[in-house]
A and B are shown apart, each in its own frame.
Chain A
Amino acid sequence: MLGYYFNNLLGTLPFFMKGLWMTIMVSGISLVAGSILGFVVGITRSSRIPVLRYVLAAYIDFMRGTPFLVQIFIVFFIFPEWGIQMDAFTAAVLSLSVYAGAYVSEIVSGGMDSIPPGQIEAAASSGLSWFQRLRYVIMPQAMRPILPPLVGQYVLLIKDSSVISVIGLTDVTRVGWLTVQRIPEGLMVFGLVGILYFLICYPLIRLSNWFENRLTIQEFKI
């Protein structure tokens, strides 16, 4: 019986690959957009512009304090009531990017705040502009503490993307739900779903560890 189901499951592999592609597309676009948003917000927050600071803090608190499932519901089901209509793919990418951006911005501003103020004062004293200080002095140093948790955040983002199945996008998770209705061998089906996520996430986990180790080794050298 198990062998029969297994053969059936193999038959659905192309379907799984389509789902995997959807997961990769949504996560990939959100990862890039969320990073850009997160860096802009994080840098702005660290430069302590009075009013903007509180607006951004409110955005981050809201995104971190509510479930992603609720956020994507709001974007996909409530926004249309206010006249903002979009297809499921756009809604997924938008909500996932804005969600990830909040976490990325925390990582970025944390990394920037770890740079001693003396570095910024030295750069300012030699006549470097705000952007030059950021570009040549702060960011190159801040990237070292930023990179390991940033890549770790990408892993979380890929796993969180499974929530997009609730608004009807056929990602790996939804392919799993659909398949298990035909092949009632849940462990096998969702085992495959798990393996597919793991295959994307594991290289990133290794990358994050590699950044972390490189960081400690360099600190030892100093």
Chain B
Amino acid sequence: MIQFNQVNKWFGKLHVLNDINLDVESGKVAVICGPSGSGKSTLIRCINRLEPIASGEILVDDIPVHDRKTNITRLRAEIGFVFQQFNLYPHMTVLENVTLAPIKVRKITRSEAVDLSMGILEKVGIHDKAGAYPAQLSGGQQQRVAIARGLAMRPKIMLFDEPTSALDPEMINEVLDVMRNLAHEGMTMVVVTHEMGFAREVASHIIFMDQGQIIEKAMPADFFTHPKSGRTRLFLSKILSH
């Protein structure tokens, strides 16, 4: 469903994506982890062309994302993206945030969009805040709205770029719960996260990145118990020790 073929990217002299090859099949959950600056956020941002690539190709549903002939707007409508900083529209209510793209992009009527969105808001447990503005919500609530906003487009893929990193600790679980449910429903997901508990439980496979390279790709059980690479072991010892 998502395919990276020999993808390279530089930020100036920094080789931020170094010969990336990766395959995420439909219905799978790929968790990407690694130290900061390893290129994991850049990698996920290339999937819907928020970042350009220098060489190689990325296919989503066999469509070359970075081909100039590809209608990127249409493709992005099929890919939900959840940001670390939520990026909700501050001038719109929760409901307006969620209904905007379905109405304007999918061209469904307002009442259809409201029905659809209220259903999704209920699923993420925040329908009672439909009339509130983002600034009136906690971080965890805002992030759940952001997930609902992505889901309202009925995407084939959901991408999460460190969705819990900006949250207070007590709000992390309410967001992870929503993501767990999504995974169990069979959504294809790519998740950049440091939440190893979530990764162990939900991931189909875990991808460890360092210095722009994929160092290791493994099933969760193997990844945590028998990491092959020394760098992976070092990373795990740092983040699992407490």
A-side residues, CB < 8 A to B, are 116, 118-119, 121-129, 132, 136-137, 140-141, 221-222
Contacts and interface: CB of A to CB of B under 8 A. Distances in A.
B77 A122 contact: no
B87 interface: yes
B100 interface: yes
Interface string B18-53: 000000000000000000000000000000101000
Nearest to B78: A127
Given A125-B48, A125-B79, A127-B105, 11 more contacts: A119-B87, A122-B88, A124-B73, A126-B80, A127-B74, A127-B78, A127-B101, A128-B73, A137-B89, A141-B91, A222-B90
Nearest to B159: A125
Contact of A126 (B85, B105, B133): B105
Contacts of A124: 50, 73, 76
A140 B91 contact: yes
Nearest to B74: A127
A102 to B, nearest CB: 28
A132 B101 CA distance: 9
A220 B77 CA distance: 35
A221 B133 CA distance: 11
B140 interface: no
A144 B142 CA distance: 23
B153 interface: yes
A136 B90 contact: no
Contacts of A119: 87, 89
A211 to B, nearest CB: 15
B125 to A, nearest CB: 21
A221 B91 CA distance: 12
B41 to A, nearest CB: 12
Contact of B135 (A123, A125, A140, A222): A222
B205 interface: no
B109 to A, nearest CB: 17
Nearest to B50: A121
B223 interface: no
The winner among A116, A127, A221 for most chain B CB atoms within 10 A is A127
B77 A126 contact: yes
B163 interface: no
Contacts of A123: 89
Contacts of A126: 76-77, 80-81, 100-101, 105, 149-150, 153
Task: Classify the interface of chain A: helix, strand, loop or mixed.
Answer: helix
B4 interface: no
A127 B90 contact: no
B91 A125 contact: no
A154 to B, nearest CB: 24
The winner among B80, B87, B133, B153 for most chain A CB atoms within 10 A is B87
A137 B85 CA distance: 16
Contact of B105 (A128, A140, A141): A128
A138 to B, nearest CB: 10
A127 B154 CA distance: 12
Given A121-B83, A122-B87, A222-B90, A128 B101 contact: yes
Interface in B54-106: 73-74, 76-81, 83, 85, 87-91, 100-101, 104-105
A123 B149 CA distance: 10
Contacts of B77: 126-127
List the 7 closest pairs (A to B, CB-CB), nearest first.
Answer: A127-B77, A122-B87, A125-B81, A126-B101, A118-B87, A222-B135, A127-B105
Nearest to B136: A222
B22 to A, nearest CB: 20
Contacts of B87: 116, 118-119, 121-122
A215 to B, nearest CB: 12
A32 to B, nearest CB: 26
Nearest to B152: A126
A123 B76 CA distance: 10
Contacts of B78: 127
Contacts of A141: 89-91
A132 B89 contact: no
A127 B153 contact: yes
A58 B223 CA distance: 57
Contacts of A137: 89
